[in-house]
Amino acid sequence: MPPTTGNIGGARYPPDVLSQIKGLSRHFTEETLRAYLLDRSARVEDGCLVVRGYGSQRGEYQKLAGRAWAHIAAYVVFVGDYDPELEVDHLCGVPDCIEPTHLRQVSHAENCRRRKQQPRCRNGHDREIDIHTGRYRKVCRRCNGDAQKRWRERQARQVAEGRASYGRATD
């Protein structure tokens, strides 16, 4: 049996992918880690796969399977091609989500750039993350909805005033 790791005749075999996950218990295989993560997570309404780590805090990065970050472990075993030089970022903005399609790798600089965006619109609403770019949407959906509502109300008022003056004119 040829060894699967190490240096043979100068050719470098790929390192064990699980060894790239800091703090992971050694007894896991890729297969058991996948099962473990799925076992501890639940699908929520907006498509996120929210994992329960050791802590009680929801909506924060979760640790499990030793002292490993759940989203990094999920990236390694569900997405693959993990680059330890890069950070694992959430397109959905939900830190305890491990849904593979919500995870992507970005440079530290890119991650910081995104964090510098204002998380609220000028009217104080939480801004939404655009799932395609991982950045906050330019247009606030609530402000936009409010503006449309005001426009419809103004239209309705003008129509009502128009009817009222028409009614008087024909008296």
Binding site for Zn ion (CB under 5 A): 48, 92, 94, 97, 99, 102, 121, 123, 125, 140, 142-143
Location of structure tokens 């639940």: 42
User: In whole angstroms, what separates CA 159 from the centre of its chain?
Assistant: 45
Question: Can you read off the two tokens belonging to residue 4?
Answer: 């699967």
Q: What is the closest distance, in whole angstroms, from the C-beta atom of residue 82 to Zn ion in the complex?
A: 18
CB closer to Zn ion out of 68 and 121: 121
**Closer Cβ to Zn ion, 149 or 157, answer by number:** 149
Least distance to Zn ion, CB of residue 142, Å: 5
Q: How far is the CB of 80 from Zn ion (least distance, A)?
A: 18
Query: In the complex with Zn ion, which residue's Cβ is closer, 28 or 134?
Result: 134
Smallest separation (angstroms) from Zn ion to the CB of 141:
8
Tell me how crowded residue 70 is: count the other CB atoms within 10 A of its CB.
Answer: 25
What the block records as the tokens of 103 is: 């995870």
Per the document, the length of the chain is 171
Q: Which is nearer to Zn ion, 25 or 143 (CB)?
A: 143
Q: What angle do CA 150, 152, 157 make, to 5 degrees?
A: 95
Nearer Cβ to Zn ion (135/142): 142
CB 125 within 8 A of CB 143: yes
How many Cβ atoms are within 10 Å of 23's Cβ, its own excluded?
13
Shortest distance in whole angstroms from residue 164 CB to Zn ion: 34
Q: Are 87 and 105 in contact (CB under 8 A)?
A: yes
